Structure 1
């Protein structure tokens, strides 16, 4: 039987452009042993499998897969899951992933997740001197077993940065918007940020001195596809 997949774009700009594609699957429709195969066939940087909240509750469970492996936490799948659940009429307050319990909020038209900084991978962070140098970076030069995050200031006073992320070993040559990396760079700089990543995706972060980082963004529904 064909499996329904909702395709979202997470961390769009205010006009609904850009954003990182995400596959969203109701976990009850899939055998757990098929999750990795489905994520690989879909080919998105991540696919999230959501166990819906029981009636009268406000907590759901999720498993996140790249094309090659399962992740304990990731930002754009958890933001996308939160938005998808609200859109279907079951907003949540927490989302349980293998790394821990993610706090969920819905500020205006955005969906937001709060996560511990240590849940995110330890990215190799590169402070790039100029926007031109960042634009010229070649993902093929970062083909080792690490996640590489390159960034530079757009406006330091305003807390605005430009960023790119490469993780070829995870099947992600270049990621359009990376919530986990946003958590790490926010902790690294210890301040709230507006992050423009990839072709123009936008991530908003809020830093806490207690080890929590909130990542918020806009989400657009790009419709349904089916996979066997």
Structure 2
């Protein structure tokens, strides 16, 4: 055991994985799944195995990269075969429809790709409302200094008991 304390939260047990979906649509549908597990003796040392049971989630990767870069860590560019296709569905309102896949990474199609949403925002140089995959919704905002922010809805999906 790592000796991490078990955090007590109302209605949250350390023997469960709480699954949320990030970038859900207005009806709470679609989005990327993200599993949340409290530190416990049942999960200690099994984090990687538990993570493999859930689909790939790019938003935690983007967040970790930002954190490292903000502390001066350098990151080498990576070349990965991928496809990000998009088209205007309402150009005046900044609405686009997109799909993204990266078969070389084992991702036939990513339901909602926050990093791609940030990159595409620079292309027209404006705020966007992006519908991706089966219907996930991402919203981007272009900042005055050229950076962009991405946001969306997260909704509770289910609780999975740990074995």
Cα RMSD of the aligned pairs, angstroms, is: 2.9
Choose between structure 1 and 2 for higher RCO, CA contacts under 8 A separated by at least 6 residues.
2
Instruction: Write the distance in 2 (CA, Å) between the matches of 1:179 and 1:201.
Output: 11
- CA distance in 1 between counterparts of 2:160 and 2:115 reads 26
Q: How many residues align?
A: 142
User: Could you list the per-position Cα deviations for residues 108-137 of structure 1 after superposition, in whole angstroms to 9, with x for gaps in the alignment?
Assistant: xxxxxxxxxxx9x889xxxxxxxxxxxxxx
Contact persistence 2:34–2:54 (CA under 8 A): no
Q: 2:109 aligns with which of 174, 182, 192?
A: 174
Asked whether the equivalents of residues 122 and 147 of structure 1 are also in contact (C-alpha less than 8 Å), the reply is no
| Residue of structure 1 in register with 2:33 after alignment | 21
Could you tell me which residue of structure 1 aligns to residue 161 of structure 2? Answer: 226
> 2:122 matched to 1:155?
no
Q: TM-score when scaled to structure 2? A: 0.73
Greater Rg by CA: 2
Gap regions ≥5 residues in structure 2: 1-13, 69-74
- 1:11-61 CA-to-partner distances (Å, cap 9, x unmatched) read 1221112222222233x3444x64332221x1312288xxxxxxxxxxxxx
> 1:22 touches 1:47 (CA, 8 Å); kept in 2?
no
What CA distance in whole angstroms lies between the structure 1 residues aligned with 2:78 and 2:99? 15
Question: How far apart in 1 are the matches of 2:78 and 2:125?
Answer: 16
Name stretches of at least 5 consecutive residues in structure 1 with no aligned partner. Answer: 49-63, 65-70, 75-96, 102-118, 124-144
Which protein is richer in strand relative to its size?
Answer: 1
CA separation of 1:47 and 1:187: change in aligned 2, threshold 3 A: closer
For 1:226 and 1:209, locate their aligned partners in 2 and report how far apart those are by CA, in whole Å: 45
Partner of 1:8: 20
The answer for the alignment partner of 2:67 in structure 1 is 100
- Please give the secondary structure, in 2, of the residue aligned with 1:169: helix
The answer to whether the Cα contact below 8 Å between 1:23 and 1:47 also exists between their aligned partners in 2 is: no
Deviation beyond 6 Å, 4+ runs, structure 1: none
Cα distance in 1 for partners of 2:95, 2:153 equals 17
Pairwise mapping of residues 10-49 of structure 1 onto structure 2 (< 5 A)?
A: 10-26=22-38, 28-29=39-40, 30-31=43-44, 34-40=46-52, 42-46=53-57
Matches within 5 A, 1:1-228: 3-26=15-38, 28-29=39-40, 30-31=43-44, 34-40=46-52, 42-46=53-57, 64=60, 71=61, 73=62, 97-100=64-67, 145-228=80-163
